């Protein structure tokens, strides 16, 4: 009788543990079904990495984040009043969690399976870019950090399943390049900007060469689905309009000319990588034309201004001093294309993100991000 009881208890214990294992597998499958976003770039998509750096480029001060519901309206380190383009794209693709900043202490364990954000305010393709901020994560360092995450995913899922997850269920988003002009090449000569040693053509060649190497490194770490954004109309931001004393409808010619020069080469690079890296799909996001459309036809989209920063100080367009506690702030935040002297508002980010997810080839080629996800 005692043996029979022990045998029955043993069976129950085995069944219990098998059920736990089965439950764990089903939880994992559900957890992985929505895919992941791995986000690289600059302050346009930084979700708070710079909070953990000794740097002059930070956004973890009010009123930044005032409309970010997940934080209760407090600053998060995002350089806008609410969500970034990366946040909104993840939501639109059905991902249940925002990609957490790599440097945040809670970005550990299974949360990395939902994706990780490596972007950094002031960061650029070139390592020298943004040095005026003292610290920032360049694209090279961001790829180094993904290598760390890649090894963590191997441990969480096992090498075979990890590789499949990275290959098929993960989108790698790259939004970088603006700082390479604004906070490198276009800096005054006294600040040792790259203009002191390079022609525009040589500098753009350097950018494309470095970015090719960085994207190829991600490919070798099993990334296969990429979206690469070009540089927006940086001559039209409130900061440029203010310091150059332009009218509401004018933009500074040189920054836009450099952006367009780089963008043409970037488009060629995307085509080259699609042809030369087997199994990879590189999608080109035409951010320049998309943002220019918002600036030119802002009233069509419900905005009242595409020239003045909602939060800032200085000059006609509040475009000199970054957003902070002493800044003036508009009350109709969803009616301004620009949140601060440099960055779009959440309302503008929402329009941009939705075009990238479901838009047509005017702004996203050869396919939109929903189609890329479903490949």
Q: Of 284, 324, 328, 325, give the one whose Cα is nearest residue 310.
A: 328
CB 175 within 8 A of CB 44: yes
Pairing of strands 225-229, 100-101: unpaired
- CA–CA dist 369, 6 (Å, integer): 57
Query: Tokens 């439950």 appear where?
Result: 23
Angstrom distance (rounded) from CA 368 to CA 75: 31
Identified catalytic residue from 114, 210, 336, 343: 343
Sign for the pseudo-dihedral over CA of 41, 46, 50, 52:
negative
Beta bridge partners of 285: 229, 364
Cα distances from 33 to residues 164, 356, 374, in angstroms, run 12, 21, 11
Task: State the Cα–Cα distance between residues 288 and 136, nearest whole angstrom.
Answer: 24
Residue 328 CA to residue 336 CA, distance in Å, equals 14
Is 43 among the residues known to form the active site? Answer: yes
Which one from 42, 57, 340, 345 is the annotated catalytic residue? 340
And the tokens for 336? 């301004």
Nearest to 182 by CA among 173, 194, 174: 194
340 is annotated as an active-site residue: yes
**Residue of 43, 57, 173, 345 marked active site:** 43
Annotated active-site positions, please? 43, 340, 343
């Amino acid at each position: 009788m005692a043996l029979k009881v022990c045998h029955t208890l043993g069976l129950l214990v085995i069944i219990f543990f098998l059920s736990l294992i089965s439950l764990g597998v089903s939880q994992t499958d559900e957890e992985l079904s929505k895919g992941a976003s791995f986000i690289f770039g600059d302050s346009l998509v930084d979700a708070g990495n710079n909070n953990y750096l000794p740097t002059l480029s930070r956004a973890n001060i009010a009123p930044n984040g005032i409309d970010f519901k997940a934080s209760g309206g407090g600053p998060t380190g995002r350089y806008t009043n609410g969500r970034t383009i990366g946040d909104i794209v993840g939501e639109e693709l059905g991902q249940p969690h925002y990609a957490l900043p790599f440097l945040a202490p809670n970005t550990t364990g299974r949360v990395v399976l939902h994706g990780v954000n490596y972007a950094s305010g002031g960061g650029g393709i070139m390592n020298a870019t943004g040095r005026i901020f003292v610290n920032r994560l360049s694209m090279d360092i961001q790829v180094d950090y993904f290598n760390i995450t890649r090894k963590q995913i191997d441990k969480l899922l096992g090498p075979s399943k990890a590789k499949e997850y990275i290959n098929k269920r993960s989108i790698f988003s790259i939004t970088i390049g603006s700082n390479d002009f604004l906070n490198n090449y276009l800096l005054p000569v006294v600040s040792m900007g790259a203009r002191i040693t390079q022609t525009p053509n040589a500098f753009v060649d350097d950018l494309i060469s470095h970015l090719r190497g960085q994207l190829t490194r991600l490919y070798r770490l099993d990334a296969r689905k990429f979206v690469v954004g070009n540089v927006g109309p940086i001559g039209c931001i409130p900061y440029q309009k203010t310091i150059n004393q332009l009218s509401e409808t004018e933009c500074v010619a040189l920054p836009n000319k450099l952006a367009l020069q780089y963008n043409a080469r970037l488009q060629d690079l995307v085509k080259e990588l699609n042809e030369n890296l087997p199994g990879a799909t590189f999608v080109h996001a035409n951010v320049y034309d998309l943002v220019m459309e918002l600036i030119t036809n802002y009233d069509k989209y419900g905005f009242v201004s595409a020239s003045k920063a909602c939060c800032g100080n200085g000059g006609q367009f509040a475009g000199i001093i970054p957003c902070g506690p002493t800044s003036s702030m508009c009350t109709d935040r969803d009616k301004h294309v620009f949140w601060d002297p440099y960055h779009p508002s959440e309302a503008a980010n929402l329009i941009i993100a939705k075009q990238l997810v479901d838009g047509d080839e005017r702004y996203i080629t050869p396919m939109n991000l929903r189609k890329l996800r479903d490949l």
